[in-house]
Structure 1
Amino acid sequence: MSKIPFTKMHGCGNDYIYVNVSQHPIDDPIQAAIRWSDRHKGIGSDGLVLIDKSPIPEADFSMRIFNADGSEAMMCGNASRCIGKYLYERGLTDKTEIRLLTLSGVKTLLLHVENNVVKRVTVDMGGPILEDESQFIASRGLSQGTFVSMGNPHYVIFTDNVDQVGEAGRALEFHPAFPQRCNIEFAHIEADGTIRTRVWERGSGITQACGTGACATAIAAFLTGRAGRKSNIAMDGGTLSIEWCESDRSVEGRFFQKNHVYKTGPAEFVFDGEIDSI
């Protein structure tokens, strides 16, 4: 049986297994994600991320992400930050602005590099999708939250009890209001304006952080008058800075586009290893 080299990384505690499939193809990523993500019998992670060359000229690289239950996600903000660090520090690119193809479209990664080390990554998450689904959701028995799509669905509930994430998150993921299931965020505005958030991720359960969930929470806070266009989202594994850009502007030669959501945070290597192929 052949061995597959992998790298484990995390962004604010949201940990994934990364494989460069342009060099080491994986025949069955669904089963690989399920087996390798097991925290007792495998490597342990929130899922599996495949890094590859881009099949289209509009992007430099591509990613696919499979949750711990084998379901494929459209996008992951924390994983995309880790990919930026991986590509740059492993010598696969010398670019500090990388175009990454995801199932939610092409995302731009802006690397903040100091002494050849990627300290932080800002991800252009694109514009949120805010079609009014409130009537449909309410007709299925829910009315306490705000629905936001960041290429994947999120339902944000502001509450004094964010620790209900376990029991309530599990039930809401599979609620009839969400035919394709949903990511659930429980959020509370702290005295200093920080938004304390806990996440139940579709297909993975409680996670230390969720990049798209942080974006959805910041947008929901703005839409409901609880915060401005810039927020710090404090999740179990760390804090992410989110800005929903109000107008076009240029910062240090980098273009920021009106209505796009920009997420900034760290990315870290955990360890490298090899595992039996599936």
Structure 2
Amino acid sequence: MRIPFIKMHGLGNDFVVLDARAKSLPEVTSQAARAIADRQTGIGCDQLIILENSDAADLRMRIYNSDGGEVEACGNASRAVAVLHGEPAKVETAGGIIALEPIEGGASVDMGRPRFEWDAIPLAYAMDTSAMPVGWGSLEQPIAVNVGNPHVIFFVEDLDGIELDTLGPEIENDPLFPERVNVNVAQVLADDHLRLRVWERGAGLTRACGTGACATAVAAIGKGLVNSKVRVTLPGGDLTVEWRAGQTIVMSGPAVESFRGSFEWDDFA
């Protein structure tokens, strides 16, 4: 069975998009997702995105990380879907319904309201998520936020001095996080500017993470470290995040189509 695909990226965080709205796909297994995402023997991507019909929204977006695991949310992929869809839309995800709108050069996404309760992150046991009494090496007292998927955020003085490739997987897989966790390390550059690096759950170090930018901005705004709106600089480029307590998070930034192609499903099933 020959399957068309669209390769897209947001700030270098790249996706293979399969549109199953008009014609359904075979079952997408973890093995198939890993094989498609493999950069040596597959098409290559950070996330595999499946678009489906939805009874609850204009369409449904399913997200598989490069390790084959299905996850709840992806901010950069949401912008890519907005660009692909071409008009404002409500999109059903495993993390809830989000609102997308194409803008000049990319898209704006209403990511919904952040969650701070320990069991909404989720954590293995109750604790203060605004200053968690835990640490790993030089990273201590993170803030935990769920923005459709779970994040911990560490604010540091020297972002380049953090060995995130070593600490990231240790924190991601700590038993404290029963569903694992995305690890964000940020530096405040100004009252409207953050610099961020992310170890993404199931994908590793990434050039950009939209939900990570949202979670980090929310944490920084909540602590009074920055104002809203804030520019978040990642290795792949900049995103803009706006949020006020009790309101939804709005993230804006670029997303582009790279190329289109097709493949034989049985080659990766």
- Report how many aligned residue pairs link the two structures: 252
Corresponding residue number in structure 2 for 1:105: 96
Alignment of 1:197-236 (within 5 A): 197-236=196-235
Shift of 1:151: 1.5
**Structure-1 separation of matches of 2:192 and 2:247:** 22
Deviations 1:228-254 (A, max 9, x none): 1211110111110000046xxxxxxxx
> Is 1:4–1:24's contact at 8 Å kept on the other side of the alignment?
no
Shift of 1:176: 2.2
Structure 1 residues 275 and 223 mapped into 2: Cα distance closer, same or farther (>3 Å)? same
Equivalent residue of 1:190, what SS?
Answer: strand
> Is 1:141–1:177's contact at 8 Å kept on the other side of the alignment?
no
Task: Please point out which of 250, 257, 261 is paired with 1:269.
Answer: 257
> Is 2:192–2:227's contact at 8 Å kept on the other side of the alignment?
no
Shift of 1:160: 2.8
Taking structure 2 as the reference length, the TM-score comes to: 0.88
Alignment of 1:72-87 (within 5 A): 72-87=70-85
Q: Which runs of 5+ in 2 are unaligned?
A: 119-125
> Is 1:110–1:122's contact at 8 Å kept on the other side of the alignment?
yes
**Structure-1 separation of matches of 2:84 and 2:52:** 12
> Is 1:134–1:147's contact at 8 Å kept on the other side of the alignment?
no
Corresponding residue number in structure 2 for 1:182: 181
> Is 1:125 the equivalent of 2:116?
no
Equivalent residue of 2:35, what SS?
Answer: helix
**Structure-1 separation of matches of 2:26 and 2:133:** 42
Equivalent residue of 1:209, what SS?
Answer: coil
Structure 1 residues 140 and 177 mapped into 2: Cα distance closer, same or farther (>3 Å)? farther
Identity %: 38
> Is 1:153 the equivalent of 2:121?
no
Structure 1 residues 139 and 220 mapped into 2: Cα distance closer, same or farther (>3 Å)? closer
Q: Which amino acid aligns with 1:274?
A: S
Equivalent residue of 2:60, what SS?
Answer: strand
Alignment of 1:161-172 (within 5 A): 161-163=158-160, 164-172=163-171
Taking structure 1 as the reference length, the TM-score comes to: 0.85
**Structure-1 separation of matches of 2:227 and 2:132:** 26
> Is 2:8–2:80's contact at 8 Å kept on the other side of the alignment?
yes
**Structure-2 separation of matches of 1:21 and 1:221:** 38
Alignment of 1:30-69 (within 5 A): 30-56=30-56, 59-69=57-67
Which of 72-81 and 138-147 deviates more?
A: 138-147
Corresponding residue number in structure 2 for 1:93: none
Q: Which runs of 5+ in 1 are unaligned?
A: 89-95, 114-118, 247-257
Structure 1 residues 245 and 135 mapped into 2: Cα distance closer, same or farther (>3 Å)? closer
Shift of 1:139: 6.3
